[in-house]
Chain A
């Protein structure tokens, strides 16, 4: 059974880069899309983007200028970088399998943007 786990700093300073990694266990990353989604405290879900096992990626246009998602299949990991963060980027960040319907999901990690 595939499981996902997010990891990375819980606190990032404004204008810096938010970097998170999702580790996939219990299955192969091959022939799958892998997504990042975020949820500001008390609010709804926002899809950030996905990466294919080949490295091809697609991003939400609302974040495209600041985001990149990469994959390292040798480590069974994919990563999120979000540049020039502000307080509006404070959220729980989830990783999930899939580029369209999404499942399973990681438990999520709270990232706070604050000086």
Chain B
């Protein structure tokens, strides 16, 4: 079973800055089947990115995903106040079960 490790655990940045969140898999992820989710306190997660780099409908273009194999990145180009939240990566596909990373908390500096 694949293990996903997200880093850093907490990222402290200011609005307007660039955020880079990492998700590393213990083994290669087939077909780059990685998704990214945003979760705000008291809310359900929201799908941002699927297939490592495809933005979900309605997601702002400041969010982008990249990577392949075992290393994946979520980048937020210019942070808006509403972007401060917890972000999870998820592996899916033929290598079930679906696995989530432990999350990165993006907080205001």
Q: Which residues of A contact B (CB under 8 A)?
A: 35, 44-47, 49, 58-62, 94, 96, 99-108
Partner among A46, A49, A62, A105 whose Cβ is within 8 Å of the Cβ of B100: A46
When chains A and B are docked, how far (Å) is the Cα of A43 from the Cα of B45?
Answer: 13
State how many residues of chain B have any CB contact under 8 Å with chain A.
23
- Does B79 make an interface contact (CB < 8 A)? no
Q: What residues of chain B lie closer than 8 Å to A61, measured between beta carbons?
A: 97
Q: Which residues of B contact A (CB under 8 A)?
A: 33, 35, 37, 43-47, 50-51, 56, 88, 90, 92-93, 96-103
Q: A44-B88, A45-B88, A101-B50 are in contact. Are A58 and B96 (CB under 8 A)?
A: yes
Q: A44-B103, A47-B97, A47-B99 are in contact. Are A102 and B88 (CB under 8 A)?
A: no
Q: A44-B103, A58-B96, A60-B97 are in contact. Are A105 and B46 (CB under 8 A)?
A: yes
